[in-house]
Amino acid sequence: MENSKVTIPGILACKSQKKLVMVTAYDYPSALLADGAGLDLVLVGDSLGNVVLGHSSTLPVTLDDMVRHTQAVRRGVARALLVADMPYLSYHFTPVEAARNAGRLVQEGGAEAVKVEGGAKRVGAIRAILDAEIPVMGHLGLTPQSVHAVGGYRVQGRGPGEAERLAAEARALEEAGVFAIVLECVPAAVAEAVTRAVRVPTIGIGAGPACDGQVLVFHDLVGLTPGHRPRFVRRYLELADAIGGALGRFREDVESGRFPSAEESF
C-alpha cells in the first residue's frame, strides 16, 4: 500500500497478496510511532484497560474511555487505518444502541472503523453499525470481553469440530459485511482453516503464521508490559529495563547533586 492512505478497499485487496500489520495504540506518541513506521492499521484496543489503566480485564473500559483515547491516537495517525474497539456492553443490547455508540467513536473519536467481539450472535449489531456507514472488523477465538463466560484467558478452538465452528462464525461475520477478522489465541491449523474459509483478511494474535496479517499490543512489542509474557508475544525491545535504568540514574544524579548542572540551569 506504499505511502498512500490506507483504506478499506486497500485492506480487502491485501488478502493473499500482502501481509497486513496492525498494532495497538492508546495515546498520541505511540500513534505517531506506529504511523511513522508504516504499519497498515492502528487499533485503539480495549486492552487499554489492562495495559494503560491498570485493570485486570477489559470489562471496566467505558465508551467514554475509548472515545478519549481514540481522540489522542487520531492526532498521531495520518496514513494507517484507525480502528477503535467497541467496549464491553456498548453493543450487547440493541442494534440501534450499538450503531449510536459506534458513531461516537467515529464522530467524536475520529475512528475510521470499529471492532466488535463475537460471531453470529453479533450480526444484528454489526449490520446496524454498517447501516450507519461505519466499517466493522470482527474478532473471534479468545474474546477477552467473554472472560467470565469462557472461564479464563486460554487458547480457543482446540476441541473436535472447533475449526468448522470457528469457520462458520467467520463466514457469518463475512456475510454480515465485516472487512477483516481478528483471530486471537487459536491453534495455527485452525487459523489457517478459517483464513481459507473467508474472502476477507484475517489478522492473527497468537494464531500462527497463516493469517493474512498480524497484530500485537504496543506495550508487549516494546517490552513495557510488566509480569507474564504470553508465548505469542515477540519483544522487539526491553523498554521497561531501559526506562527503569534511566529513572534510577536520574534519582542518583539528583540525590548526589549532579543534576542539574550549570549548563542545565539559568
Instruction: Residue count of the chain, please give it.
Output: 266
Q: Where are the beta strands (DSSP E) in 99-233?
A: 113-115, 136-141, 180-184, 202-205, 213-216
Residue 47 as a binder of ligand KIV (CB under 6 A): the answer is yes
- Return the residue of 6, 11, 24, 41 that touches ligand KIV, per CB under 6 A: 24
How many C-beta atoms surround the C-beta of residue 11 within 10 A? 27
Cell numbers 496492525 correspond to: 22
- Binding mask 75-104 toward ligand KIV (x if CB under 6 A, else -) reads ----------x-------------------
* Distance, CA of 226 to CA of 119 (rounded, Å): 31
Q: Does the protein bind ligand KIV through residue 46 (CB under 6 A)?
A: yes
Residue 202 contacts ligand KIV per CB under 6 A: no
**CB nearer ligand KIV, residue 198 or residue 216:** 216
Nearer to ligand KIV, 128 or 205 (CB): 205
Angle, to 10 degrees, between the axis of helix 63-74 and the axis of helix 95-107?
30
Give φ, ψ of 214 to 5 degrees.
-135, 150
Name the segment binding ligand KIV (CB under 6 A); options: 40-48, 91-99, 127-135, 242-250.
40-48
What is the C-alpha to C-alpha distance for residues 172 and 33, in angstroms, rounded to an integer?
A: 35
Nearest distance from residue 205's CB to ligand KIV, in Å?
5
* Catalytic residue check, 184: yes
**Do residues 88 and 61 make contact, with C-beta atoms less than 8 angstroms apart?**
yes
Regarding 217 and contact with ligand KIV (CB under 6 A), the answer is yes
In 3D, which of 144, 221, 149, 140 has the Cα closest to residue 174? 140
Q: How far is the CB of 18 from ligand KIV (least distance, A)?
A: 19
215 touching ligand KIV, by CB under 6 A? yes
Residue whose CB is less far from ligand KIV, 185 or 265: 185
205 is a site residue for ligand KIV (CB under 6 A): yes
Could you give the angle at the alpha carbon of 43 between the alpha carbons of 130 and 192, nearest 5°?
80
Task: Confirm or reject binding of residue 41 to ligand KIV (CB under 6 A).
Answer: no
Count CB atoms within 10 A of the CB of residue 245.
10
x-or-dash string of contact with ligand KIV, 106-145, rule CB under 6 A: ----------------------------------------
- Judged by CB under 6 A, does residue 40 bind ligand KIV? no
Q: Cβ(116)–Cβ(145) under 8 Å?
A: no
Nearer to ligand KIV, 42 or 128 (CB): 42
Scan residues 171-190 and list those touching ligand KIV (CB under 6 A): 182, 184
3-state DSSP call for residue 214? Answer: strand
Task: Please say whether the beta carbons of 42 and 83 come within 8 A.
Answer: yes
Give the footprint of ligand KIV on this chain (CB under 6 A).
24, 43, 45-47, 85, 182, 184, 205, 215, 217
Q: Which residues are catalytic?
A: 184
